[in-house]
Amino acid sequence: MEKKNLDWENIGFVYRETDKRYVSHYKDGQWDEGALISDSNIVLNECAGIFQYCQEVFEGLKAYTTEDGSIVTFRPDQNAERMMNSAVGLEMPAFPKERFLDAVDQVVRANEAWVPPYGSGASLYIRPYMFASGSVIGVKPADEYQFRVLCTPVGPYFKGGAKPISICVSDFDRAAPRGTGHIKAGLNYAMSMHAGMEAHRKGFDENMFLDPGSRRYVEETGGANFLFVTKDGEVVTPKSDSILPSITRRSLIYVAEHYLGIKVTERPVELAELGDFTECGVCGTAAVVSPVGKVVDHGKEICFPSGMEKMGPVIQKLYDTLTGIQMGRIEAPEGWIRKIK
Ligand SMILES: Cc1ncc(COP(=O)(O)O)c(C=O)c1O
């Protein structure tokens, strides 16, 4: 299989059309058998539920080449389960887990030429998504849906080393109390865009969203969960019902406890206690962990002792261990790595 001739280290995080994508249609109460197709365009009725009432959920995961040349995905079963849960939250039919896993495998195999080589730091980003394709005019769930999987190669998240980012405490809320914050639906991201652009216009990399009920506790950024490190070298991560349950966070917690012997506590984290922590990071599929150098709360700077130059030592250890597991340099827990080729 001849690889595409791309400058893998410099392809950035943009959409590049690849050869094949997967689609399955839901109609008359069931999913059809699904197929790989070449056409990257979707034709829908003007009154499709996705356009009118935003019934859409999605996932994000990566395929990459490991040290021994295999092509693998990382815990795709967790994405399958989270997507089923997201679908239930928007009254959409869940796409079965085994079929999700098979669809992702098919798309990766069919686009093998686009899977970046080991050592490039690049990967094949996979985007499973599902939306209401049936027409609706009254406010109700549609009765037809499409489940699709597309993929696009993306460059290394950190080029030239991981530089700590600066984050501002947002005046906006990302999610409503008892709303949809815990599910991965496009609607949550649509409403985080204005807040995100406001943060960028003020010179920050990301927002820190607070709990929408009391605005006293830390929730997450627009696309990643928080991790903090205490003076004793323990990890603390926010607990809240309106946070998206990050698969990376779950994996880092396991790595901390079982590989590194670090105690992890999941609990509500107050904005007022941030100054007590020595390190901060945000975690997600895109970067695994990005170090955070400072959080700014309306002019008040909270600077973490790890500074603005490099990752702190605990976050670095977590990052190195999890990326080592992903790349096949460190033995993975049972079931974490799905070998596709
Ligand atoms: C709002 C939000 N939080 C957290 C995450 C991190 O989740 P994961 O580690 O599963 O990528 C993401 C990215 O998917 C996200 O969009």
CATH number of the structural domain spanning residue 40: 3.30.470.10
Q: Do both 36 and 117 map to the same domain?
A: yes
Q: Do both 128 and 200 map to the same domain?
A: no
Domain that holds residue 316: 165-326
Residue 89 lies in a domain: yes
Residue 338 lies in a domain: no
Name the 3-class secondary structure at 270: strand
Residue nearest to atom 1 of ligand 1 (CA): 223
Q: Do both 94 and 174 map to the same domain?
A: no
Walk along the chain (341 residues) and give the pLDDT tens digit of each residue.
Answer: 789 999 999 999 999 999 999 999 999 999 999 999 999 999 999 999 999 999 999 999 999 999 999 999 999 999 999 999 999 999 999 999 999 999 999 999 999 999 999 999 999 999 999 999 999 999 999 999 999 999 999 998 877 678 999 999 999 999 999 999 999 999 999 999 999 999 999 999 999 999 999 999 999 999 999 999 999 999 999 999 999 999 999 999 999 999 999 999 999 999 999 999 999 999 999 999 999 999 999 999 999 999 999 999 999 999 999 999 999 999 999 999 999 99
Query: What is the Å distance from ligand 1's center to 251 Cα?
Result: 12
Predicted TM-score (pTM) of this structure: 0.97
Q: Do both 180 and 79 map to the same domain?
A: no
Residue 340 lies in a domain: no
Number of domains present in the structure of the chain: 2
Residue 339 lies in a domain: no
Residues in Cβ contact with 60 at an 8 Å cutoff, skipping those fewer than 6 apart: 79, 125, 126, 127, 285, 286
Name the 3-class secondary structure at 218: strand
Of the three residues 113, 135, 154, the one that is the final residue of a domain is 154
Residue 341 lies in a domain: no
Q: Do both 91 and 136 map to the same domain?
A: yes
Query: What is the Å distance from ligand 1's center to 277 Cα?
Result: 22
Q: CB atoms < 10 A from the CB of 71, how many?
A: 20
CA–CA dist 147, 22 (Å, integer): 8
Our answer to whether residue 184 is catalytic in this structure is yes
C-beta of residue 101 within 8 angstroms of C-beta of residue 72: no
CA–CA dist 288, 121 (Å, integer): 12
Q: Do both 39 and 141 map to the same domain?
A: yes
Residues with CB under 6 Å of ligand 1 are 60, 220, 223-225, 244, 246-249, 284-285
Residue 133 lies in a domain: yes
Q: CB atoms < 10 A from the CB of 239, how many?
A: 12
